Amino acid sequence: MKTTVSIIKADIGSVGGHAVTHQKLKDKCNEYLSNAKEEGLLTDFYITNCGDDIDMIMTHTNGTDNEEVHKLAFDTFMAGAEVAKGLKLYGAGQDLLSDTFSGNIKGMGPGSAEMEFKERGSDPVFAYCCDKTEPGAFNLPLFRMFADPFNTAGLVIDPSLHGGFDFEVYDVIENRKVVMSCPDEMYDLLALIGSTGRYVIKRIFRRSDNEIAAAVSTDKLNLMAGKYIGKDDPVAIVRSQSGFPAGGETSEPFAFPHLVSGWMRGSHNGPLMPVSQADARPVRFDGPPRVIGLGFQVSEAKLIGPVDMFADPAFDDARNTATKVANYMRRHGPFEPHRLPADEMEYTSLPGVLEKLEDRFEDM
């Protein structure tokens, strides 16, 4: 029997503008998922949030892209959005692009990351969930986990990882994908994934046996909707230990709060701050962008745990660095590279300004 881990997430409304979702929305999600567990569709679930995004971490035995599981997530978020509308929450139903389900949640607004595997003797699985950023935010930490020996000692000293990993990369602009192997094609891989707004790591497989190691939600909400409607606030599932990076090798990349896009109005760059679940409240200038980490043991498709990874005070220094970087970036105000380039902004007044000035521009 194989186990499936599905994280399906959406922003269906929040309090304090785009700050934090409301407990009543999580209660509604809990009601729907509890029923599904009783009926046997789900084996287990854990609901959390990073800022205004609700993350439903679900385990079952129905495989990935299962219509019933996807419909459950869709119906759950629709019901939650009704509660949000009743409370006049901000952005009620924000990420729901359609009101009718058509077989798969992909392309309907919510983000999804899923993987199916045969459980090992013990199967540690980590969920990393973000707010105020985009799927490409995981490119750097995932590269570090699965390809950088200065992060993951196991790549060098553990024979079961020594063969390296395959990276499946999506080109979200041209809608195509490519698989690249590390360490052999490391420089070519980096040439792509350094462009975080376009090339996004979707899945990672162990080369020796093609076993799934990681999966990311790559849904580009803005591209689906044809216009910017908030960032995609991604999630990642990462397997660990015994042939995969150790638990602490999966969290270690987040000790460097790297710059990501998606802060304030989806239009600014800022540091990705690793925080506990309690501190997943992005309020300073609607940020800075956040990531939470939850460590589970998956046992007969049940979720044991979680450990709140970034509640560890050893990440205090990363948070202090993120705050210093946030101060520095904020001083740029509306200037790049704090503000995103015009073509990547969620909001832009530029076309209107240019139109107004059209008659006043002269050739030089």
Active site residues: 11, 228, 231
User: Which 8-state DSSP code applies to residue 148?
Assistant: -
Q: Answer with the entry of Mg ion, ligand 13P, none that 246 interacts with (C-beta below 5 to 8 A by kind).
A: ligand 13P
Q: Is 103 annotated as a binding residue?
A: yes
Phi, psi of 330 (to 5 degrees): -60, -30
- What is the C-alpha separation between 350 and 345, in angstroms, rounded? 10
In sequence order, the 6+-apart residues with CB closer than 8 A to the CB of 273 are: 257, 288, 289, 290, 291, 318, 319, 322, 323, 326
Under rule CB under 5 A, residue 52 binds Mg ion: yes
Least Å distance between CB 295 and ligand 13P? 13
Under rule CB under 6 A, residue 55 binds ligand 13P: no
- What is the C-alpha separation between 29 and 116, in angstroms, rounded? 23
CA 320 to chain centre: 22
Nearest residue to 131 (alpha-carbon basis) of 18, 5, 244: 18
Under rule CB under 5 A, residue 44 binds Mg ion: no
DSSP H helices in 166-237? 186-193, 221-225
Instruction: Mark 257-276 with x for binding to ligand 13P (rule: CB under 6 A) and - for no binding.
Output: -------xxx----------
Under rule CB under 6 A, residue 44 binds ligand 13P: no
Residue number, 94 or 112, with CB nearest to ligand 13P: 94
Among residues 26, 220, 231, 319, the one that binds ligand 13P under rule CB under 6 A: 231
Under rule CB under 6 A, residue 286 binds ligand 13P: yes
Under rule CB under 6 A, residue 339 binds ligand 13P: no
CB 20 within 8 A of CB 233: no
- What is the C-alpha separation between 353 and 364, in angstroms, rounded? 20
Contact residues: Mg ion, CB under 5 A: 11, 18, 52-53, 91, 131, 230-231, 233
Interface residues with ligand 13P (CB under 6 A) are: 11, 18, 51-52, 91, 94, 131-132, 230-231, 233, 246, 248, 264-266, 286
